[in-house]
Amino acid sequence: MNHTGRIAVVTGAADGIGRSVAENLAGAGHTVISLDIRPRDGADIPQIACDVADPASVADAFGQVEREYGPVQILVNNAGISPAAPNGRAVLIEEMTDADWRRVLSVNLDGVFHCCRAALPAMKRSGWGRIVNFSSQGGRMRSMLSGAHYAASKAGLFGFTRVLAGQCGQSGITANCIAPGRIETEQSDQFALDDYVSQIPVGRLGRPGDIAAATRYLVSEEAGFVTGAIIDVNGGFFMP
């Protein structure tokens, strides 16, 4: 796959999927900057502290990226939170507080809006851009363990991405959404997974590299005719 090096921002790249995506894109020749509220281990990829839920923090971070590296051409919105299910069950809607609801929506949905808004002017000026938003199969299916706030935030990204693609296509910008299945990360061992894995046609959990590979394609020159798409990367667990 032929890549031209671009300036790429990956949010939530301190570990897990975001870290794998950042390393993969750097390996493809892009200049990658990690935006995360937490420090990232190692210094191989530049990092800037950023809280995507805070529009001022996002504006400052994107301003710093442009001053130090150049205008952002690739944006991967990976930052997100999935509240742990207390006592093995999701918080019921009638038990959910306003703070519970807003915390998840502010990161998972508002954060994507903040970052896209910050990145779009430079992409439009250059006439080229790639945006990849990370949703979840929890936005496609009943999500008992994650809760209504998580499902709503992830489902909202589908509509947001399609509108974004429609508005930006004439400017040479594509926008797509990846919906991962269960991915094996350092947090995976807290779940009972045997029954889950038995329902996946490929017979294993996903790996961060699976999501990174799909992202690498979507931000490539070759994917210029792919926009407004929802890409399910789940081993066949969910087939719409």
Pick from 3-7, 74-78, 86-90, 231-235: least confident? 86-90
Catalytic residue selected from 69, 150, 196, 217 = 150
Confirm whether 32 is domain-assigned: yes
Query: Which position has the higher pLDDT, 145 or 125?
Result: 125
Tell me the pLDDT band of 36, cut-offs 50, 70 and 90. very high
pLDDT > 90 in the chain, percent: 69
Q: Give the model confidence (pLDDT) of 174-214 as tens digits.
A: 999 999 988 886 444 445 567 778 888 888 888 999 999 99
CATH number of the domain within which 224 lies: 3.40.50.720
Q: Give the model confidence (pLDDT) of 210-230 as tens digits.
A: 999 999 999 999 999 999 999
pLDDT at 190: 46
Confirm whether 41 is domain-assigned: yes
Confirm whether 239 is domain-assigned: no
pLDDT at 144: 60
Confirm whether 1 is domain-assigned: no
**Owning domain of residue 24:** 7-233
Q: Give the model confidence (pLDDT) of 44-84 as tens digits.
A: 899 999 999 999 999 999 999 999 999 999 999 999 998 87
Q: What is the mean pLDDT of residues 9-31?
A: 95
Confirm whether 26 is domain-assigned: yes
Is the separation of the CB atoms in 233 and 179 below 8 Å?
yes
pLDDT at 182: 84
Confirm whether 240 is domain-assigned: no
- Please say if 150 is a catalytic residue: yes
pLDDT at 89: 73
Q: How many domains does the chain have?
A: 1
Burial 171-197 (b: 16+ CB within 10 A, else e): eebbbbbbbbbbbbbeeeeeeeeeeee
Edge-to-edge strands, sheet with 74-77: 47-49, 31-36, 7-11, 74-77, 129-134, 173-180, 230-233
Confirm whether 120 is domain-assigned: yes
Confirm whether 227 is domain-assigned: yes
pLDDT at 188: 47
Q: Give the model confidence (pLDDT) of 126-159 as tens digits.
A: 999 999 999 998 787 765 667 899 999 999 999 9
